[in-house]
Amino acid sequence: MHLNHPDIKEVLVTAEQIREKIQELAPKIDAFYADKDVLLVGILKGAVPFMADLSRAMQIPTKQDWMAVSSYGSGTVSSGVVRILKDLDTDVKDRNVLIVEDIIDSGLTLSWLTANLKARGAASVEIVTLLRKPDAAKVEIAVRWVGFDIPNEFVVGYGLDFNESYRSMDGVGILSPAVYS
């Protein structure tokens, strides 16, 4: 689905820009894990397109697993208390884990998840995120690779949804407020 759609108020990142960014990130990640096995952990559901495109642009072999988590809290505000909806099938003990995420907002979800995976005995835990909202950060987290820093607005597309819609858009944009009401 093309990003050029009446429900999108403003285009932030085009499909072409995402492609270029992935071509730039993939060799850096390849180099980082050149002498290690890496387990990619994609966060459902938003990271599905990014995981698929990034992992195919990488040249080193990867293993892949998925987690679904949900932050407790009212409405769209993340609380930092995270519930695992679907856990990994893989034992991460002694594994080098790369969390693949669509967006970092407050940082609370990934802060919790990083600590959780380290507590399971992961040898290393790194993060790659396509998008980050620096103005929304509530906790500092070490993110090794970031695609794009974006304004503190609700965005959809390329995996990100509003009520499960717009995930299939090929780029990322700000949703028109008319859609909420």
Binding residues for ligand XMP (CB under 6 A): 46, 71, 78, 102-109, 154-156, 160-161
Please state, in angstroms and as integers, the Cα–Cα distance from residue 88 to each residue in 67, 78, 91, 148, following that order. 6, 22, 7, 27
Nearer to ligand XMP, 67 or 103 (CB): 103
Nearer to ligand XMP, 35 or 178 (CB): 178
Nearer to ligand XMP, 71 or 96 (CB): 71
Determine which one of 102, 105, 149, 161 is catalytic: 105
What is the DSSP secondary structure assignment for residue 5, as one 8-state letter? Answer: -
By CB neighbour count within 10 A (0-12 exposed, 13-18 middle, 19+ buried), where does 124 fall?
A: middle
What is the torsional sign of CA 43, 44, 50, 51?
Answer: positive
| Min dist. Cβ of residue 153 to ligand XMP (A) | 7
Q: Is 7 a catalytic residue?
A: no
- Residues with Cβ within 8 Å of residue 102, at least 6 apart in sequence: 43, 46, 47, 50, 129, 130, 131, 158, 159, 160
| Min dist. Cβ of residue 111 to ligand XMP (A) | 8
Nearer to ligand XMP, 161 or 170 (CB): 161
Structure tokens at 158: 């390329």
| Min dist. Cβ of residue 154 to ligand XMP (A) | 4
Contact status, residue 5 vs residue 156, Cβ threshold 8 Å: no
| Min dist. Cβ of residue 13 to ligand XMP (A) | 12
**Residues identified as active-site:** 105
